[in-house]
A and B are shown apart, each in its own frame.
Chain A
Amino acid sequence: MANSILTLTKINKVYNPGEPSEVAVLHDIDMEMKRGEFVAIMGPSGSGKSTLLNIIGLLDRPTSGSLTINGQDTGGLKDAEITHLRGHKIGFVFQYHYLISAFTALENVMMPMLVDHGFQTEQAEARANELIRRVGLTHVAHHRSNDMSGGQQQRVAIARGLAMNPDILLADEPTGNLDTESTKSIFELMREVNRTSGTSILLITHNHDLGRQCDRIIQVVDGRIVT
């Protein structure tokens, strides 16, 4: 267990329980992920992949079941503790980049550190610059996110996801809106991060090519893990 970054036991998620609109999205999900693993979650639309990712990312809470991240059970945590854990252990990359358009690329990468620290520090600046370099965007570091291509924006988003040096990076279809070329380079970037930094990555994708290149594929159908 010490080697697991993530353990899910009997996770259920029901929306609007007790109401006529009640929907059960996840059924008894058991799942484990090793430290440094690069796992793909695949499955048809509406199968509950995103909900699963949101629960793992502590954005959403399961209706029942237990979730352990890096050995810490998240069940009884208060809102502030959840927020702290989310800020320090987990990085997000979404299908849409969700960069904050009021800030430049570099500032977006710096944002998680700024949020955590309260103030901008020299270390944060140095780290953001380093991350921007690593994703190959030094030349557009001071551009606003609206002035960048989709691939560039997603690279910034990955750099931002890595800013706090998280234990696990959660990526929800990060290449869903990108052309083949960008998709390839974004995936290679994640692979490289996974290898060099040992960051565990959980990737939702519809792209079977990408899935095959991951360490493992988890198939989710109708809220259940089938493989």
Chain B
Amino acid sequence: MKRWLPFEWIAAIRFLLEGKLQSIFIIVGISIGVGVIVFMSAMLTGLQSNFIKRVLTSQAHIQILPPDQLARPQRHGPQEVEDPIIQRPSQRLVSIDQWQKIRRQLETMPEIAVVAPTAAGSALAKRGDASRAITLNGVEPENYFLVVRVPDYLVQGQARLLSDDILIGIDLAKDLGATVGDKLNVTTSSGGERILTIIGLLDFGNKGANSRSTFVSLRTAQSLLGMLGGVATIDLSLKDIYAAEDIAKNIQSSNDVIADSWIKTNAQFFTAIRAQNLTNMLIRVFVGLSVAFGIAAVLVVSVIQRSRDIGILRAMGTSRGQIMRLFLIQGGVLGFFGSLIGSALGGFALLYWHATARQADGTELFPLIIDYHLFLWTAVLASFTGLLAAMAPAVRAAKLDPVVAIRG
């Protein structure tokens, strides 16, 4: 017996060791439960981070737009409207009012990681006899490329935006018969015209985007679109992507702008993620419950088997509290060891699955994210579950009448 261990711990561990088969069975049960939780959580985290990476590195987490332009009814006096039919006005390309001030304000918000103003509009790209309608995105590369990872999609050339540079999609390049180093004539409806040099080709994995999207420097776009010094949108990247909706509402309420979060613009995708998280949580809860009931069942039986021991311990002056702790500790110890083995099982299953499961193109199905927090939390939770599960048997043991217990 160890000198530094309190009585309850010594007795709890001896009892568990003596009922070896029971202890082994329940630990195997707990391990399987914990293994499933660890495996599922880690795999889902990996899959989701993959999806999220795909969705969120190609768009802003929050996009700030100028408010819709509205026509207001002309009024003569109170209750008197000159012309009751209001047409929705055409939406001119206008700059966000006082965007510099809004930008400074956004940059001070701790939840926001990157603020990237952009000037975007439609234009016509001409080369020789061919011309194509394009979307001109004027950006500050040092900021914008952190919001949308344009360089990740680069297949040729370089991701650089000086005043005469333009990055175009590969399908647009094909249509215009152009490649890196060729010149394009870009004109806009506001009369802007400029010769730009193709500096790089992009492949977004989407034909629509590949034949329309282009990127130029912010100043170039501003002058081409006739919005000198103005920006059409401010794109934001956030530290916590799930807070996007709240932050967007917050921004919209304090400024005269529209703030669209990725959650709103990708509602379907977000619902899917939420459903996945909910399913994951439900599975965890129910696996946890079945583990808890397993522990409780084993301990209830153990209390009955040990009722004589309990009786004799009580006769020699063991308090009810000590007896209760003795059984609580057994539950906690079972949960803890089960979680250790289960974490190892889950970890191995994850490694194996990661090594064997491949996507159609041979790339990994999900990135291997082994977060030690997950294991730590699982161990803490499993021990706590064990404690909770041991509650009823422990109370029962503590309440045993020593006379009845000894009589058997």
Contacts and interface: CB of A to CB of B under 8 A. Distances in A.
Interface in A108-124: 110-112, 114-121
Contact of A119 (B3, B314, B317): B3
B308 interface: yes
Nearest to B311: A98
Given A94-B406, A103-B14, A118-B7, A86 B1 contact: no
* A59, A92, A110, A121, most chain B CB atoms within 10 A: A59
Contacts of B10: 114, 120
Contact of B316 (A54, A102, A111, A121): A111
Nearest to B322: A115
Contacts of A32: none
Sort chain B's interface into a size bin. 20 to 34
Contact of B314 (A83, A101, A110, A117): A83
A164 B317 contact: yes
A87 B403 contact: no
Interface string A178-206: 00000000000000000000000000000
A38 B311 CA distance: 26
B279 to A, nearest CB: 43
Contact of B403 (A60, A110, A118): A60
Chain B interface helix/strand/loop/mixed? helix
Contacts, number: 80
A209 interface: no
Interface string B1-20: 11111110011001101100
B312 A119 contact: no
A116 B322 CA distance: 10
A101 B18 contact: yes
A25 B400 CA distance: 22
A43 interface: no
Contacts of B4: 119
A107 interface: yes
B6 A118 contact: yes
Nearest to A97: B312
A227 to B, nearest CB: 26
Contact of B317 (A79, A87, A103): A87
Contacts of A160: 316
A165 B402 CA distance: 21
Nearest to B309: A100
Interface string B171-191: 000000000000000000000
A88 interface: yes
B396 interface: no
B320 interface: yes
B7 A59 contact: no
B285 interface: no
A86 B11 CA distance: 20
Interface string B389-407: 0000000000000110010
A112 B313 CA distance: 8
A2 interface: no
A163 to B, nearest CB: 8
Contacts of A100: 309, 312-313
A59 B402 contact: yes
Contacts of B15: 102
A117 B312 CA distance: 17
Nearest to B315: A92
Interface string A109-151: 0111011111111000000000000000000000000000000
A111 B316 CA distance: 8
Interface string A155-175: 000001001100000000000
Contacts of B322: 115
B319 interface: yes
B318 interface: yes
B318 A115 contact: yes
B317 A115 contact: yes
14 contacts: A57-B315, A86-B316, A86-B317, A88-B317, A92-B312, A92-B316, A101-B18, A111-B313, A112-B317, A115-B317, A115-B322, A117-B7, A119-B5, A119-B6
The 3 closest A-B pairs by CB, nearest first: A87-B317, A102-B14, A102-B18
